[in-house]
Amino acid sequence: MNGNEEDASDRPIGELANLESPVSPGFLQYFRRKIYRRTATAQLTNFSVRLPGAILVEFLNIIVHLFQVVDGKKGRSR
């Protein structure tokens, strides 16, 4: 391809740019709400999936800590 052929292929794109029409605020608001709704749903799903695991890990840490404290008290009384 030489330079003239590239210019010819770019011309329709430039003409389409001139056909741009303004977008109504209601249309943009509709898509913003849709995106926000999907984002909120994704965050809630992520939270509800990860929360039980996080709670389980914390409970296990508490149990391990309690066993360490009990073992430490047994070691001092001997």
- Tokens 């909120």 sit at which residue? 40
Between the CA of residue 46 and those of 28, 31, 34, 36, what are the distances in Å? 27, 22, 18, 15
* Domain contains 7: no
**Taking CA 58 as the corner, what is the angle to CA 52 and CA 60, rounded to the nearest 5 degrees?**
105
Domain region containing 59: 24-77
Residue-wise pLDDT for 17-59, tens only, equals: 777 788 899 999 999 999 999 999 999 999 999 999 999 999 9
Going by pLDDT thresholds of 50, 70 and 90, the confidence category of residue 78 is very low
**What distance in Å separates the CA atoms of residue 28 and residue 24, rounded to the nearest whole number?**
7
What contacts 24+ positions apart, CB below 8 Å, involve 32-39? none
Provide the number of structural domains found in the chain.
1
Q: Quick one: average pLDDT of 3-26?
A: 73
Residue 51 lies in a domain: yes
